[in-house]
Amino acid sequence: MIELSNIKKKFGDALILDDISLRFPEGSVTALVGPSGGGKSTLLRCINLLEIPTSGSVQVGEHTITFKPGVSVPQASVQKIRCETGMVFQNFQLFPHRTVIENVMEGLLVVQKWPREKARKRALDLLEKVGMSHKTDAWPANLSGGQQQRVAIARALAPSPKVLLCDEPTSALDPELAGEVVDVLGQLAREGTTMVMATHDLRLASQIANHVVFLEAGQVVETGDADAIFRHPERERTRRFVSSINAAQTL
């Protein structure tokens, strides 16, 4: 379970997130949607503390950290939260000097200190899950964007995180390659993987998410069941956003 309470985030004098409180139950899939600059990616990165909130609290599993302006947080506490999360980035972020299987094994070997054979078996199992077992010894430069993202998903899942965080996982891909990633994430959702994703891709959000949070100007405009938000949003601002994205994605 993940809980954000009264999260505020400032960059200098700019208020990026304004008193956000959200709860993500275990096994849920939540899509963070909204216009660019609305705070989606910043909120996502506050969950695993790639961005440190200015104030508020973050709970992931059994670990909770409270933040106050001007008060630093012990790195050991930050690491406990990060160890409970896996992150899938927009631009894959694979190590170019490591093969596919080495990319998936790297965190297990370096951070988790797993024995090499145990890490290799885990990596092979995950590459099979994401449909990349035939590219075990390939280099990232020789993969398509969709293949690279599927390897990145396997890498994020390697340490068995409590939650998978996805930051615009399909935005760097053309529609066909994005479909590969949607299929993999959909399978993970059906298996009960807890996910929070920031996305402009309403196909991804509507097919996979069971809950949607619409953000604008650092505030939560509307939350609710995914089908209700996409078909019958209550707020006029949400209706206009959903209509504009639907129109753009049918061109």
Q: pLDDT by residue (tens digit) across 15-26?
A: 999 999 999 999
Do both 194 and 239 map to the same domain? yes
The verdict on 190 and 224 lying in the same domain is yes
Mean pLDDT within 198-222: 90
Average pLDDT over residues 123-147: 95
52 pLDDT more than 90: yes
Pair (104, 75) in one structural domain: no
Read off the pLDDT of each residue in 205-225 and give the average, rounded to a whole number.
Answer: 92
Quote the pLDDT of residue 164.
Answer: 95
Q: Looking at the predicted structure, is the pLDDT value of residue 45 above 90?
A: yes
Q: Is residue 117 part of a domain?
A: yes
Phi, psi of 223 (to 5 degrees): -130, 155
Instruction: Tell which of 160, 178, 208 closes a domain.
Output: 160
Does position 251 have pLDDT exceeding 50, yes or no? no
Same domain flag for 67 and 115: no
The pLDDT score that the predictor gives to residue 180 is 87
What is the domain-level CATH number for residue 204?
Answer: 3.40.50.300
What pLDDT sits at residue 247?
52
Is position 73 within any domain?
yes
pLDDT in tens, 77-94: 999 999 899 999 988 889
Residues 21 and 79 in one domain: yes
**Domain membership flag for residue 89:** no
Of 116, 141, 160, which one is at a domain's C-terminal end? Answer: 160
Residue 187 is which amino acid?
Q
- For residue 89, count other CB atoms closer than 10 A to its CB: 18
In 10 A of CB 247, how many CB atoms?
A: 9
- Vertex 17, ends 149 and 50: CA angle to 5°? 40
- Asked if the structure places residue 205 within a domain, the reply is yes
Residues 15 and 35 in one domain: yes
Helices (H), 10-136: 40-47, 75-82, 100-110, 116-129
Residue for token digits 């990145």?
Answer: 152
242 pLDDT exceeds 90? no
pLDDT at 241: 87
Last residue of a domain, one of 106, 128, 160: 160
What pLDDT, on a 0 to 100 scale, did the predictor assign at position 207? 85
Mean pLDDT across the chain, nearest whole number? 91
Q: How far apart are CA 157 and CA 238, in angstroms?
A: 32
Residue 86 · residue 47 · CB < 8 Å: no
Same-domain check for residues 176 and 230 = yes
What pLDDT was estimated at residue 245? 66
- Label residues 32-49 b or e (16+ Cβ within 10 Å = b): bbbbeebbbbbbbbbbbb
pLDDT value of residue 206: 84
Does the pLDDT at position 236 exceed 70? yes
Residue 46 inside a domain? The answer is yes
Write down the H helix ranges in 131-201: 145-157, 175-190
Helix count and strand count (H, E) for the chain: 9, 10
Give the predicted TM-score (pTM) of the model. 0.91
- How many domains does the chain contain in total? 2
Identify whether residues 24 and 79 lie together within a single domain.
Answer: yes
Q: Answer whether 83's CB lies under 8 Å from 129's CB.
A: no
For residue 199, give the 3-state DSSP assignment: coil
Let me know if residue 16 belongs to a domain. Answer: yes
Q: Is the pLDDT of residue 74 over 50?
A: yes
209 and 187 fall within a common domain: yes
Direct distance between the N- and C-terminal alpha carbons of the chain, in angstroms, rounded to an integer = 38
Is the pLDDT at 176 greater than 90? The verdict is no
In a domain, 90, yes or no: no
Say if residue 249's pLDDT is above 70. Answer: no
Domain containing residue 80: 2-84+163-249
